[in-house]
Structure 1
Amino acid sequence: MPTRPAALPEGLTTRPLEKADAPAVFRLMAAQEQEDIGHVAIEEADIVSDWARPSHDLGARSVGVWDGETLVAYAELMGADRADTSVLPSHRGRGIGTWLAHWLLDLGRSLGSSVVGMPVPQGSPGDRLLEELGFRVRWTSWVLKLPEGAAIPERTLPEGYVVRTAGPDELRAAHDVLEDAFLEWSVRDREPFEDFAAATTGRPGFEPWNLRVAVDPDGAVVGVSLVLVSDDGATAYVDRLAVRRDQRNRGIAQALLVDSFARGREHGTRTSELSTDSRTGALPMYERVGMVVDHVWVNRAMDLT
């Protein structure tokens, strides 16, 4: 690994982030995304809901870098190994990203993490910097889009099954289906239910229809889709999608996906998006319902043990 920078450039200051900093972090991340991928995907609600998770100690796990009154970079570590970081494009090339990478690795070591990784657009300055620092690619992620005006294909469910809005009493069952499925391929601790609630019903702008469930003839939740609508109302984003293991290969996931697209259009969206990664093997399913890859991210990580 290259030599650690002794300090940040002269004139910059640091402090832990506070919840009131969410708008500043959003502006910072939006500027970086606009530069790197040509549009803004992050929303302030993403940051607010992440920071509302009871398990996340924002003050102990984050740092902001300030140039006067302007936030020009930040980093945070959520859970054991999920890092996020961003540097304002105008402040690149000054060693700030390298300093933040070392800060994250030091924090991970102090918490006993075995690895620290973060997502970056493939081929972006952040990707190239992390490669130079020795971060390996853990997995590749694809952001897929249903083109505007594309026909939404119909998908039938097994007899007696229904896709509908989740009831308030089905939130825990939805969480269980999602976590059981994600933990088949994701190496992490189980998400506390309270964190899930903060990211769904507690998310700014959440409406009941956003949480879709597939239920079997007995009324048990066997599949879940969480559909979020962009701030401008143009895009429905399928944030989470899963089907219980014993109910797979019956068309339930595709039916949930198609339902999510349709409900989004009912609420004024023009396009639909989601992301998947190389750990899931789900890319072909999304392509079969007409989605196309819009851009590619990689998760780069450093082993600490």
Structure 2
Amino acid sequence: MSALDLPDGLTFRVLTMDDARAVYDLAAAQEQHDIGKVEIEPADIVSDWSRPSWDVATHTIGVFDGDMLVGYGEVTGHDRGDAAVHPTYRRRGIGTAIAGWMRKAVEDLGGTGYGSPVPEGSAGDRLLDKLGYRVRWTSWVLDLPAGTEIAHRDLPEGYAIREARPEEYPAVQDVIEDAFLEWSVRERESYDDFHASVIGRPGFEPWHLRVVTDPEDTIVGCALVIMAGEDADEAYIERLAVRKDQRHRGLAQALLVDAFARGREHGATRSSLSTDSRTGALSLYQKVGMEVGDVWVNRAIGV
């Protein structure tokens, strides 16, 4: 492992699964400072780190002041990473050191570079800009305003929306991957990784996977709902996909209506999702009444 050039008194080491909660606390502190709220969930860390393709021993670095985690970086995919520095430890070179480690880690894993998501205009955004990272794409978090409902869309004759059955989970992943790989340049996600990060995610319930089926009961679209927030009061659509040959039939809008309705049945008082500039879907969500909240940019170098 490469050494980090850190201020006196700070140490670094690879992380372990036992550090997952500390990573969440650190990332939450950064989000609270940068965007005024916490969007990350403890389950996000645990589910990502549980993927068979991911190795905590080679994909992470932690910076400590005594026993306190004050900075961390992780390589989450072949060209993506995440990092955080506690707000009270900024402007000491910790973020720069972690960024250097992440780039070297990606190269050691066979990559040429990586990108990281940061809130637009945040300290992390400014640092990566200074280090030469370009904006690769922009992401928007959209919310459905209180009291607003997405207009109902009738499904084509013979189509239906329901909960996915366990034996259908591989088919669900196929629909998601086929759709996402139309605009995402990466390797196809393995089913084992999908199962670990979705089905194995702490708090997962079968109703979270909503599917739309054609007259032959074949899955042609799906939505993954996560009950987010400390009180699990936000229905967040983490993934939404419709098979290419089944688009422009109102299936995505019908899935949105269904997913948010199921969320409300389970206690959600808020409804949200995110999209980015690669998908071209922003206007679709705005047309059904959703409003842009937080804006993130993915800054990249070497890719």
Question: How does the TM-score come out when normalised to structure 2?
Answer: 0.97
Partner of 1:83: 81
Q: CA deviation at 1:64?
A: 0.5
- Secondary structure in 2 matching 1:35: helix
Give yes or no for contact 1:152–1:261 (8 Å, CA) kept in 2. no
Say if 2:245 is the partner of 1:246.
yes
Could you tell me how far apart the structure 2 residues matched to 1:93 and 1:203 are? 35
Q: Residues 234-266 of structure 1: CA distance to partner in whole angstroms, max 9, x if unpaired?
A: 201100000001101111011111111111111
Say if 2:273 is the partner of 1:280.
no
Could you tell me how far apart the structure 1 residues matched to 2:4 and 2:141 are? 37
Could you tell me how far apart the structure 1 residues matched to 2:76 and 2:38 are? 22
- Secondary structure in 1 matching 2:58: coil
Q: CA deviation at 1:79?
A: 2.0
Q: CA deviation at 1:6?
A: 7.0
Partner of 1:143: 141
Could you tell me how far apart the structure 2 residues matched to 1:125 and 1:279 are? 24
Superposed, 1:140-289 pairs within 5 Å as: 140-230=138-228, 231-289=230-288
The ranges of structure 1 where at least 4 consecutive aligned residues each deviate by more than 3 angstroms after the TM superposition are none
Moved more, 152-161 or 261-270: 152-161
Give yes or no for contact 1:229–1:264 (8 Å, CA) kept in 2. yes
Superposed, 1:127-142 pairs within 5 Å as: 127-142=125-140
- C-alpha distance 154-93 of structure 1, shift in aligned 2 (>3 A): same
Same amino acid, percent of matched pairs: 60
- C-alpha distance 283-209 of structure 1, shift in aligned 2 (>3 A): same
Could you tell me how far apart the structure 2 residues matched to 1:198 and 1:227 are? 16
Q: Which residue, out of 57, 72, 86, partners 2:55?
A: 57
Could you tell me how far apart the structure 2 residues matched to 1:255 and 1:59 are? 43
Could you tell me how far apart the structure 1 residues matched to 2:195 and 2:224 are? 12
Partner of 2:302: 303
Could you tell me how far apart the structure 1 residues matched to 2:188 and 2:149 are? 37
Alignment coverage as a number of residue pairs? 300
Could you list the runs of 5+ residues in structure 1 that have no partner in the other structure?
none
